[in-house]
Amino acid sequence: MDSPYRVLGPDGRAIGALPTFAKDVDELTKLYRAMVLTRTFDTKAIALQRTGRLGTYASSLGQEAVSVGVAAAMQLSDVLLPSFREHGAQLWRGVTLEELLLYWGGDERGNAFTGPREDFPNCVPVGSHAPHAVGVALAFRLRNEARAAVCIFGDGATSKGDVAEALNLAGVWKAPVVFVVNNNRWAISIPVAKQTAAPTLAQKAFAAGIPGSQVDGNDVIAVRATLERALERARAGAGPSMIEALTYRLSDHTTADDASRYRSDEDVSKHWAEEPILRLRSYLFALRAWDKEREEALLLSCGQDVERAAAAYLDSELQPAAAMFEHTYAELPTDLVEQQTGAVSYLRGL
């Protein structure tokens, strides 16, 4: 397999031909802002969780280029099926900051997106949304719609049967779906080397008759360009693709994890030099398209947006416990009606 596709090196210098969109400074600035907003949100969400005002949360620190680059390549008519670390993609596609906080706070209203109504909610079970993505893509094909499904999951999901089955079905049906492996090198505490003997994760697609490729997941330009090509192919009826985005998880797996138990600070620190925000900022500075004043203004703007959303989330009216039954079925099955009735009776008696 060829080396991972890359446009910007870790130092922010262009080392490959720029795709057309990357020659537009405004487009690069949008990508940069989206990654900064994602990281600002990330920092606030962790602070809320640590102070008991948010549930267990999965950080995307160091992985912002994957989710932002993927979403920037998508059309609004495409459908995103995220795992649980794609905050940047969701924000790009129109999910609001407040909705994300509601979701992570355990409020199902956070999944009633005001933006991408057909995008799927976060999938916390590892890899179980991959077959769903094939189903979505098959529906597009049967309806003769020039749309594609995009399914993002981590490296650990490629060890699950759900993903293997999804790849097989997608290949047989030539479903217009793009699978994105966010290879952050750790499936909680298990490194990739202990998950598989395959030299790459992308090549796991080959047995299903699906093209697989690697991209530098810390290069948002390369991620977007790679996804654009795969999505054009899918919408044109040429079938599915799988793309392995190579990045690194700079944080704990979730706020319920302590990564210091299984990896050293030295191992983590060397990856900070490769992180995506620094990389694109260095490139923009070199172009003289960015400066200290613009950076400070952006940080202030993102901080204000996140603080407003956090205040709205904290001021939102708490939902009753029985609301957990209201967002799964159009009509509740009999057994769940009984459970709901029992829950309401129990809570009234407290």
Rounded CA-CA distance 111/53 in Å is 18
Enumerate residues 6+ apart whose C-beta is below 8 A from 23.
none
SS3 (DSSP) at 156 = helix
| Cα gap 245→151, rounded to integer Å | 13
User: Do residues 101 and 310 touch, judged by C-beta distance below 8 A?
Assistant: yes
Catalytic amino acids? 249, 253, 262
CA distances from 11 to 189, 278, 285, 299 (A): 29, 8, 12, 22
The SS3 call for residue 20 is helix
DSSP type of residue 18? P
DSSP per residue, 290-311 = --HHHHHHHHHHHHHHHHHHHH
Q: ∠ CA 164-156-270 to the nearest 5 degrees? A: 140
CA-wise closest residue to 223 among 273, 148, 272, 279: 279
Chain centre distance of CA 118: 16
Calculate the CA 98 to chain-centre distance. 17
The whole-angstrom separation of Cα 196 and Cα 84 is 22
Query: Which residues share a beta bridge with 343?
Result: none
Report d(CA 294, CA 42) in Å as an integer. 21
Q: In sequence order, what are the residues at sequence separation of 6 or more whose Cβ sits closer than 8 angstroms to the Cβ of residue 21?
A: 27, 224, 225
Residue 233: enclosing H or E segment and its boundaries?
helix 220-235
